[in-house]
Amino acid sequence: MNSEALTSLNDIDRNYPVPRVYDFLSCPENSGFLEYVFKDPFGCHVFPGDIAGYPLDSFFDDMDRDIGQAKQIHLWSYIPTCRYRCHFCQYPTVILNPQATSSRAVFRDLVDCNIKEAIMWLQSVPCLAQAEVGEFNIFGGTPSLLPEPELRRLMDFYRSHFNFSAATMRFEGEPGTLTNDYLRLLKELGFTKISFGAQAFNDRIITACGRMHSAEDCVKTIYNAREIGFEWVSVDLIYGMLGQSVDDVKYDMEKTLELELSHVVCTKLHMEEFMKKRTGVSGERASLWQKKGPGNINNMNFPGLGKQYQMRELVEQYLLPDYREHPTMYFHQNHQRPEKWKGLITDLDAQYPEVAIGLGGSSKCTRAEAINITGYKKYKQALDENRLPIEDSRGVSSLHREVNAFKMALSTLVPVNDNVFRQRFEGRSFFDNPIICRALMTLIDKALVTADADRVTLTPDGVTLVEAIINTQFVTPEA
């Protein structure tokens, strides 16, 4: 068993209960799970295809077919600009000073590129123009750096070229740029949802992770957004960060309840490169913390795995009475609706296609998926050469379509219903799939799921370890 991983698991705050999953992860026969969570890959957001080198023409044909059959789609527009790079960030970004005169040309180019790419998508996937957009998200980076004329130009294009008749619209920003004027502009343009990363409500932790805002800035942004009419305000928090204690996360949860946040995302810090395990899209540069490694930085340390799971259990303890987790890491107040875009792409009765336009975007349907170029120069060059800036595309075999559908459904934390699965796959049960069946035998034996005749349900340990389950257990027998 990995002694370093076990040492990290034994890093426990004695003022709090030993984490529930401690016994499971410390058992030698579960060393594979411990190794995975110790390396800390993040997320269940990318469900890769199993057919490498998939032709782009086939990818577009698959997207057109699935989009034509889907009730709705999820549409992203990435604007990857940032004022600075956070110490934990490994996403594709373009760093610039929004006040500099030279930045105006960059903003203009980014919008030009985004629009050009979208036009090429519309040409390559004819059904896309008529498809009903369920939710439209402008994500980043920090798209709230976009000057008003460029944001208006971008939205004029999307509204005139896509079917927004039933779309809800969401915008991601950061406290330092989501001013009252900008929030009013977003409201005028039709956005009803705002999200931003606070990371923590403790200025010491915020500073340690390289953010240039304060906890008070976050609180003011929340209240200002509500006063302007945004009832849906989602805040991202991270646990496991440099210098962070279990007490710090306890404070974050108390603050979350005090602020009565409608939605909150509680994410474990990720240090492993996304692309290694295809759990997300990483850019060309490692984060500062990745470069320095998990040791002492500025006389501060990262909490060990044991403390991280104590933090995770505190999140559940504070939020679950009044919030529901759906999907993993995403919490919504009981009287509010869950993350619509996550439901569109993960709920078993939906799992509709998503199209992501911009640097590092990830697009998929049931039969194929593709990731955009992650370097800005190469991205722009591809568009200048009238090529869609897709770096990698993969197909999904019929066997793995069922596996991906099951894994996405599992990530919602809702029991996976075999009757719904059969409706999706022409009467086939997920118990008929050899990869799913083999994984379930292991997961049942390890008490991570329970199963009856028509459903599979995660146990409490399974909910905590769902990312490790999804990313390690559903493999081909020969692997």
Is 139 in the same domain as 252? yes
C-alpha 184/C-alpha 153 separation (Å) is 17
pLDDT along the chain (479 residues), means of 10: 91 98 97 92 76 96 98 96 92 90 95 98 98 97 95 98 98 94 98 97 96 95 97 96 97 98 94 73 82 86 96 96 96 95 96 96 96 94 96 96 97 97 97 97 98 96 96 76
Residue 477 has a pLDDT of: 61
C-alpha 282/C-alpha 276 separation (Å) is 9
Number of domains in the chain: 2
Tell me, yes or no, whether 214 lies in a domain. Answer: yes
Is 22 in the same domain as 71? no
Cβ atoms within 10 Å of 156's Cβ, excluding its own? 12
Is 121 in the same domain as 25? no
Residue 280 has a pLDDT of: 75
Last residue of a domain, one of 346, 379, 395: 346
Last residue of a domain, one of 321, 346, 371: 346
CATH code at 115? 3.30.750.200
Radius of gyration of the chain (CA): 22
CA dihedral defined by 70, 76, 77, 82, rounded to 10 degrees? -170
C-alpha 377/C-alpha 205 separation (Å) is 33
C-alpha 262/C-alpha 284 separation (Å) is 34
Is 96 in the same domain as 24? no
Residue 195 has a pLDDT of: 97
Q: How many CA atoms lie within 13 A of 145 on its CB side?
A: 27
Is 194 in the same domain as 223? yes
Determine which helix (DSSP H) or strand (DSSP E) holds 65, and give its type and residue range.
helix 56-69
Point out which residues pair with 77 in neighbouring strands: 138, 357
Tell me, yes or no, whether 306 lies in a domain. Answer: yes
Tokens representing 273 are: 């490169």
CA dihedral defined by 73, 77, 82, 88, rounded to 10 degrees? 30
Rounded to two decimals, the pTM is 0.95
Tell me, yes or no, whether 271 lies in a domain. Answer: yes
What domain range is 32 assigned to?
3-39
C-alpha 281/C-alpha 273 separation (Å) is 9
Determine which helix (DSSP H) or strand (DSSP E) holds 149, and give its type and residue range.
helix 148-161
Residue 42 has a pLDDT of: 65
Is 26 in the same domain as 146? no
Tell me, yes or no, whether 417 lies in a domain. Answer: no
Residue 479 has a pLDDT of: 44
Is 116 in the same domain as 141? yes
DSSP-derived 3-state class of residue 307: helix
- What letter does residue 279 receive in the DSSP assignment? S
Is 226 in the same domain as 128? yes
Is 35 in the same domain as 72? no
Tell me, yes or no, whether 234 lies in a domain. Answer: yes
Tell me, yes or no, whether 469 lies in a domain. Answer: no
Last residue of a domain, one of 346, 368, 388: 346
Is 86 in the same domain as 28? no
C-alpha 447/C-alpha 441 separation (Å) is 10
DSSP-derived 3-state class of residue 225: helix
Is 86 in the same domain as 27? no
Is 9 in the same domain as 75? no
Residue 313 has a pLDDT of: 96
Closest CA to 171 of 261, 77, 263: 77
The H-assigned helical ranges of 357-431 are: 376-384, 398-411, 418-424
Point out which residues pair with 10 in neighbouring strands: none
Tell me, yes or no, whether 451 lies in a domain. Answer: no
Closest CA to 401 of 450, 462, 458, 353: 353
Distances (CA, A) of 5 to 40, 183, 274, 462: 11, 45, 20, 20
Tell me, yes or no, whether 205 lies in a domain. Answer: yes
On whether the CB atoms of residues 357 and 77 are closer than 8 A, the answer is yes
Residue that the structure tokens 């790079």 belong to: 85
Distances (CA, A) of 242 to 40, 245, 360: 14, 9, 27
Residue 2 has a pLDDT of: 83
Residue 286 has a pLDDT of: 83
Report the phi/psi class of residue 306: left, alpha or beta, with left for phi > 0 and alpha for psi in -120 to 50. Answer: alpha
Burial-class residue 479 by CB neighbours within 10 Å (0-12, 13-18, 19+).
Answer: exposed
